[in-house]
């Protein structure tokens, strides 16, 4: 029906991935490594559950190879083989099949067999046993988001602490406050820095709290949340295995159909990140204004010089770091709108 395609020598992906690569060339970059590694952990949890249920009782070597392949993907060793484009149709099926094929072929190599000889290890019958794209992909996405958000929280903590240090350093510097850019009553530069620190403190708290939403997963719900093709024991045990694999307190959604059908949690989390983007843009814009000059602007603060600012005016230095921060913040605000539209359409 779909014809044949050549697979490069040494590739661990298979025909489904090759078709996806031939069809989707939109973003021209593969899915993020964080998602691939998270998928490895989800697959490891599913494999451990299937093994505990005796699925591969007659072939312990196969079970060992599958679990080892999953661990390798989770640790980033197989990321280069998951090559499907970030922009693709099919609600993540292309990514999921790429993962399944890589894990199956890696398991075959571990067993001393040729990639693509799926008699002993199948991407569908073994790697995807009791699973669907519609429960594994959202679960992997939540896990990847949690790991990225934890890293982001640490960065925001560092930013908050940096402004707190400036609050103390500049506590004695008296300056004019402004409302609507007009002169107002006196304040201190330290007080202004402390206000920025407080804003980032709220962002830090929001990021920390949003993990609670992401820890609720629909793994075990398979295609539409009904758990079709998955035995009851798998549905009730797989999230326990995911907790053990990741060390994160995941819980199974009370209503798997609802959790499969709706994606509003990603809108909520994105809104929290948009709030951080707003804070970053506001602070960057303020610093840029306060550093304006040096002769005809406010010139109240001096930003570190990073790059020459002009090809025609010698000695000119621009506030390139605040400007770059503002650009990144504005870009994320656009991403937030995209996420909202995508979730509203069920995509």
The pLDDT tens digits of the residues spanning 266-297 come to 999 999 999 999 999 999 999 999 999 988 99
- pLDDT band, very low/low/confident/very high, at 308 (cuts 50, 70, 90): confident
Interior angle at CA 223, CA 218 and CA 224, nearest 5: 75
Residue 68 has pLDDT above 80, yes or no: yes
More confident: 266 or 309: 266
pTM for this prediction = 0.93
List domains and CATH numbers for the chain: 15-129 (1.10.275.10), 136-344 (1.20.200.10)
Average model confidence (pLDDT) across the chain: 96
Element containing residue 340 per DSSP (H, E):
helix 320-344
| Residue 337: band (very low, low, confident or very high) from pLDDT cuts 50, 70, 90 | very high
DSSP character at residue 32: P
Interior angle at CA 210, CA 207 and CA 216, nearest 5:
150
3-state secondary structure of 293: coil
* Overall average pLDDT of the 207-212 stretch: 96
Catalytic residue annotation: 310
pLDDT band with cut points at 50, 70 and 90 for residue 189:
very high
Q: What does the angle CA 234 – CA 239 – CA 243 come to, to the nearest 5 degrees?
A: 140
pLDDT at 50: 98
pLDDT of residue 1: 67
The 8-class DSSP code of residue 308 comes to: B
339 backbone dihedrals φ, ψ, rounded to 5°: -60, -40
* Interatomic CA distance for residues 142 and 210, integer angstroms: 11
DSSP 240-255: HHHHHHH-S--EE-S-
pLDDT average, residue stretch 115-143:
97
Radius of gyration of the chain (CA): 25
Q: Looking at residue 48, what is its pLDDT?
A: 98
Return the residue matching tokens 């295609």. Answer: 223
pLDDT tens profile 19-49: 999 999 899 999 999 999 999 999 999 999 9
Q: What is the mean pLDDT of residues 236-264?
A: 97
Give the helix ranges, DSSP H, for 91-132.
93-110
Coil, strand, or helix at residue 76? coil
112 φ/ψ sector (left φ>0, alpha ψ -120 to 50, else beta): left
């Amino acid at each position: 029906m779909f014809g044949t395609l050549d697979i490069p020598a040494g590739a661990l992906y298979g025909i489904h991935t090759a078709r996806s690569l031939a069809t989707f060339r939109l973003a021209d970059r593969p899915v993020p490594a964080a998602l691939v590694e998270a998928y490895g952990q989800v697959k490891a949890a599913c494999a451990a559950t299937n093994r505990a249920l005796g699925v591969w009782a007659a072939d312990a070597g196969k079970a060992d190879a599958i679990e080892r392949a999953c661990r390798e993907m989770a640790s980033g060793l197989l990321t280069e083989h998951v090559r499907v484009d970030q922009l693709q149709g099919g609600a993540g099926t292309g990514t999921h099949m790429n993962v399944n094929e890589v894990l199956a072929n890696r398991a075959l190599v571990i067993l001393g067999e040729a990639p693509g000889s799926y008699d002993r290890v199948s991407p569908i019958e073994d790697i995807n046993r009791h699973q669907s794209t519609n429960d594994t992909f959202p679960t992997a996405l939540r896990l990847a988001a949690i790991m990225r958000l934890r890293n982001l929280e640490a960065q925001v903590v560092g930013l908050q602490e940096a402004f707190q240090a400036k609050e103390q350093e500049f506590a004695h510097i008296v300056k004019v406050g402004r409302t609507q850019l007009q002169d107002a009553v006196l304040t201190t530069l330290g007080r202004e820095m402390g206000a920025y620190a407080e804003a980032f403190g709220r962002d830090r708290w929001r990021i920390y709290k949003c993990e609670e939403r992401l820890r609720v997963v629909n793994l075990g719900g398979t295609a539409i949340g009904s758990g079709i093709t998955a035995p009851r024991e798998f549905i009730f045990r797989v999230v326990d295995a995911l907790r053990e694999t990741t060390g994160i307190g995941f819980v199974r959604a009370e209503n798997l159909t609802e959790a499969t059908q709706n994606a509003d949690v990603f809108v909520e989390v994105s809104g929290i990140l948009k709030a951080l983007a707003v804070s970053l843009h506001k602070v960057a814009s303020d610093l840029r204004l306060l550093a304006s000059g040096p002769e005809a602007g406010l010139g109240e603060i001096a930003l570190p010089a990073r790059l020459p600012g002009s090809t025609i005016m010698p000695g000119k230095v621009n506030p390139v770091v605040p400007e770059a921060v503002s650009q990144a913040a504005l870009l994320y605000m656009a991403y937030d709108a995209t996420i909202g539209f995508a979730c509203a359409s069920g995509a």
